[in-house]
Structure formats: C-alpha cells, structure tokens
Amino acid sequence: MASFNSWNDRAAGVDYGKMHGSKALLTDALKDKMGFDGFVVSDWNGIAQVPGCRNDSCAQTINAGIDMVMVPDDWKAFIANTTAQVQKGEIPMARIDDAVTRILRVKLRAGLFEHKPSDSRYAGDANAVQHRELARRAVRESLVLLKNEAQALPLRLTARVLVVGKGADSIGDQSGGWSLTWQGTENSNADFPNADSVLGALRAELGSDKVHFSADGTGVDAKAFDVVAAVIGETPYAETNGDILASDTVSHSRANPQDLAALKAAAATGKPVVTVYLSGRPMYTNDLLNLSSAFVAAWLPGTEGKGITDVLVAGKGGKPAHDFRGRLSFPWPGMPCQAPIDRPDAKKPALFAPGYGLSYTKGGKVATLGEATPDSCGEVTTLPIFNRADTPPFALHVAAAGATQPLGNDLNATLRWPATTPVVQVRTVQVNTQQDAKEVTWLAPAQLIARSTSRRNLGALARSNGALQFDVQLVQRPASPVKVTMQCGTGCEGGVDIAPLLARLSLGQKQTVTVPLACFAKQGVALGAVEAPFVVTADKPFAAAFTQVKLTANTANAEGAVVCP
C-alpha cells in the first residue's frame, strides 16, 4: 500500500512529492529496481492528495504505479473518469494491462481461483484456530518486568485477588487499533471468539471464587483479598486519534485519568498492587509506578490473556512456570515532555534504558520517582478539541431541556436523542478525511457541546491573537440563528451568530470558520476559566457536519474571520 506521506532527498536536492503520485518510487524503485511483482494499492482517498487530483479522478497516480485504487465513496465517478482518461490516451492501455496482470497474479498465487474460501479445510471450525499457542508464547516472552518489590510477583495459586482497571476484561483494549474496527473502539469481548481477557485468564488459573472484579476499585472490602491486580492502559487508537502533538505530554495519566484513579484506589487498600500495563508505545508512567508494587509492560497481547498469566501466576510448588524474558527495545520516558524517545538524550535521561528488564531472579526495586505533571510541553499554539473523536480533556455531548448525552467515539454509531421524542440526530460522516466529522441534525431546540473535564485557561491563546476554528459542511439551511458560544460556568456564556455565514454556503459546501477569542471575551466569557470552548445552539431545524474543532494562536486575523459584533 502506498503511504500518505511525501518523500524528499535533501542532500541530493530531489523532491519525489506525494508517494501516491511518484513514479520514481512506485515503479522505478519498487517494481523495477527491487523486482516487486505484486500489486500496489492506494490508501483511503490517498489519490486526492496528489496535486491536480481529486477523489474521483487521478490519471497521475495510475501512471505512477498504483494498480488498485481505494475509492470509498466516489467510485462510480472514478470508473467513468478513468475510462475516459484511457480512451483519451492519458493513461496508456499497457499500464492498465500491467495493473490487471499484477492483481490476477497475486490472486492466483493465493489460490483464490481454485476453490471458495468457505471450502477451505478449517473454514467455520472455531476449534481449529491455528498458531494460537505460538501467539500465547509471543505474549509470554515479550512481557517486560519494570518493577517487582516485596515479591509481589509471582501470584500464589492460593491468592485471593481483587482485579481493577478498565483493561482487565477488555479484549479490545488488549488488541488496540485496527482490530475489527478502524480505531479499535466500541468492540465487545463477544466480537473476539476464542480469546481470553486478563480477567478471564486469572479466573482460569486461580479459580473464579478467588478472583473479584471492580473496574474502578471502589466499594469492595480490601480485607477479603491478598493482592490487587490492576490492568490499565491506553484506549485503543489508530492514526489521527492516537497522535500526540509536539506540545502535548506523553503522560499516560493526563490522557487516561480513570486509570490513575483506579490505581490510587488500589493502593489505598494497603495490599500489594500488581499493575499490568497495556500500551503500544512508551509513555510517562512515574505516578503509576510509584503506586505499584510490581509493574509489567504487557504491550498489546491481543487475544492471548493467558500468555500474561503464564508468567504472573506461580505453579503448584510456588515457583513460576515461566520467567520474564522481555527487554525494552527503546528508552522508557522518565519525563512527561521526553520526546522523541528514540535516541539517548543527556538532558532528558531515560527512566529505563534500552535492554532493561527484570526477572524473578534479577532485582526488582525501583526508587520513588518524581511526578511532574505539566499541562503541556512548551508553548501551546494549537489546542485540539475534536477531530473524528474526542480529544481529552474535551468530549462532545448533545444537550436539550437540561439533559445531556455524550456522543462517545464509536465511528459507526448513530444517535436519535432522546429516544422517545428526538430533538437531535447525530451520525459520523466524512468532510476532510475518513469518518472525521459529526453530522448533527437539529429537529428542535438543542446544543452540540464540547465540554472539558476541568476549566481551561485560554488567556495565553487569547493574548497570542488566538481564535476558535472549525470546519463546517452545510447539510440543511438554518431556519433561525445558529450561535457558536463558549461557556465558563452558570450564567457565563457568550459568542456569535454564524447563521449569516452559513446562508452564503451552498448545500454540501465546506467552510473553515474562524472566531477570534476576543469576540467571546467581548460577549462576557471569562477566558481564564472556560468549561466548554465549543457550543453550537439552534432552536429550529438545521443540519451541518462539524470537524477539525480547535483553538489556535495567531489566527484571529485569518481571511474570512468572523467580525466581532
């Protein structure tokens, strides 16, 4: 698959441009020089990023060497346009023949013309899952023990265990992004047949009668247990949703405060706390390490929760059946602003160096660590609020008549709320990129609100000539004012009416809206304590899609910016 990125060789002064349109990369280098005889597929609407191309038309990308084009929405127009381009000679017929040959070659090699996949030997046999033991072994041997004090591990077979944490009974969290769904979110354990969560694996090893689960670690009698096992980690993500900006910290707790709360509750019991950390990348975890007696980096074990308990639980003789063999392949951050972490930095030394990893026979004590908790790393020039999914600490809600409903991050979900007499409808659509926007239809008075978990001080952004920016695509013209406001507590709200701006758009047209922060201040918003930086209110029928909601510095004077009333 061709990537969205661009290539250049600064030393040679060569710019290959977007990979989707680069014959030098796709054909000259990959196919000719390297001898690749398979086929090249484009990424989702990747052709539109080639200069002069659109989602439904791009002769350049086919001539460059793309053999199969991923066109999710505009495929009918793409077929018509490509056919016309071949007929006009813009795309040589020889290039089409080559692309078809490559695609058929791969299918023949895969045996797709010999029989139907449903006729395969193990098709439909849930008990014939191959390589399961190998996957379990991979999990077992990749676990990295970062800390183990007072012999918290291994767990005795007789131990009574309180299990806490949102990841304990979530195979989705164990699997990460690009698992069944794009971002890996909104999956249930039922979607992963023949799989084991960490909780399920512990119950299988120790017995269900000795394992109790409480996601947040509250409301249980700690005296009934010998040890607390906390399974925490990052919410699944893929590209875009999982991006960490240069101005953001790499603190796990800042992005996942519920994990810190669960671990604090676990530590408050006075029992040893064994933490299993699920993550696909290195994060700052000093506070979590301090709260843990033992800490295991378990990465993303997928379906094989039993690969974790193979190492964590002792055998009948009290000795572990398997020892920790995993070692870090990168520096583990010791500071929340330690990025990039792919190379040594004398000014920002790693907490654990590459190659670090304890075992049952090697050490285990880690000194109490410092706990820096900055809000950001350096000057914040952009504060994302929403793009495809909620950006912590902000979350989208709809509200009406004093009630609110969070939208969540399920990209495939639709909402009609309230269910009995809906006043608003919400669904995921595409404005700029795949599933990046929320299309909101007002049926009666309602609001779309991005609310923070705590009040935000936007003073610095305001002083740097900042603005609220968002992309809007008009679906249905408004029949009344459409107010974009900010909220700063009870009775503290102000903003502007964007209905006149929307009236100038044609249906389906996209517009980037810029509202200077000074406009909100002028309308009485206390920018030093903003609870909701993006509120859209309409009282009569109206529909539009919203995405790329953010606060940005030095944009108040952007072309087309709203003039403060």
- Respond yes or no: is residue 141 known to be catalytic: no
519/496 Cα distance (integer angstroms): 8
Query: Does one domain contain both 398 and 509?
Result: yes
* Domain count within the chain: 3
Torsion, CA 225, CA 215, CA 167, CA 151, rounded to 10: -20
Domain co-membership, 325 together with 389: no
**505-515 pLDDT per residue, tens:** 999 999 999 99
Residue 564 included in any domain:
no
Q: For residue 545, what is the enclosing H or E element?
A: strand 542-552
d(CA 357, CA 125): 39
- What are 438-486's pLDDT values in tens digits? 999 999 999 999 999 888 889 889 999 999 999 999 999 999 999 999 9
How many Cβ atoms from other residues are within 10 Å of residue 477's Cβ? 15
Q: In this predicted structure, what is the pLDDT of residue 238?
A: 87
Tell whether 239 and 99 lie within a shared domain: no
The CATH number that applies at residue 450 is 2.60.120.430
pLDDT at residue 376 tops 80: no
Residue 428 and residue 488 in one domain: yes
Q: Determine whether 558 is exposed, middle or buried from the number of CB atoms within 10 Å of its CB (0-12, 13-18, 19+).
A: middle
Query: Which residue range forms the structural domain that includes residue 187?
Result: 132-352
Residue 466 lies in a domain: yes
Question: Per-residue confidence at 360, pLDDT binned at 50, 70, 90?
Answer: very high
Within this chain, do residues 176 and 265 fall inside the same structural domain, yes or no?
yes
Report whether pLDDT(129) > 80.
no
Domain end: 45, 78, 110, which one? 110
Same domain, yes or no, for 18 and 88?
yes
Q: Are residues 184 and 72 in the same domain?
A: no
pLDDT for residue 130: 66
pTM to 2 decimal places: 0.74
Q: Other CB atoms closer than 10 Å to residue 246's CB: what's the count?
A: 13
pLDDT band at 59 (very low <50, low <70, confident <90, very high): very high
DSSP 286: H
Q: How far apart are CA 527 and CA 520, in angstroms?
A: 8
For residue range 63-95, list pLDDT tens digits in order. Answer: 999 999 999 889 999 999 999 999 999 999 999
Give tens-digit pLDDT for 321-355.
Answer: 899 999 999 899 999 987 666 666 677 788 999 99
Strand 227-233, strand 493-497: pairing = unpaired
pLDDT at residue number 18: 94
Does residue 364 belong to any structural domain of this protein?
no
For residue 365, being part of any structural domain is answered with: no
- Shared domain for 387 and 447, answered yes or no, is yes
Which residue blocks in 224-277 are alpha helix, DSSP H?
252-255, 257-267
C-alpha to C-alpha distance for 6 and 20, rounded to whole angstroms: 9
Residue 110 exposure: Cα atoms within 13 Å on the Cβ side: 10
Beta bridge partners of 213: 163
Is the residue at 226 inside a domain?
yes
pLDDT tens-digit map of 302-327? 999 999 999 999 988 888 889 999 99
Q: Is 1 part of any domain?
A: no
Q: Among 6-10, 20-24, 102-106, 130-134, which stretch is predicted with the lowest mean pLDDT?
A: 130-134
- The answer to whether residues 152 and 300 belong to one domain is yes
Note whether 260 and 143 are same-domain residues.
yes
Do the bridges between strand 227-233 and strand 273-278 make them parallel or antiparallel, or are there none, so unpaired? Answer: parallel
| Cα–Cα distance for residue pair 152/145, rounded to 1 Å | 12
Check residue 342 and give its pLDDT. Answer: 64
Residue 294 tokens read as 């033992």
- Domain end call among 332, 352, 372: 352
Q: Is 375 part of any domain? A: no
Which one from 141, 239, 323, 371 is the annotated catalytic residue?
239
**Rounded to an integer, what is the distance from CA 494 to the centroid of its chain?**
32
- Is residue 62 within 8 Å of residue 84, measured between CB atoms? no
Task: Indicate whether 334 and 388 sit together in one domain.
Answer: no
Q: Do 285 and 420 reside in the same domain of the chain?
A: no
In a domain, 537, yes or no: yes
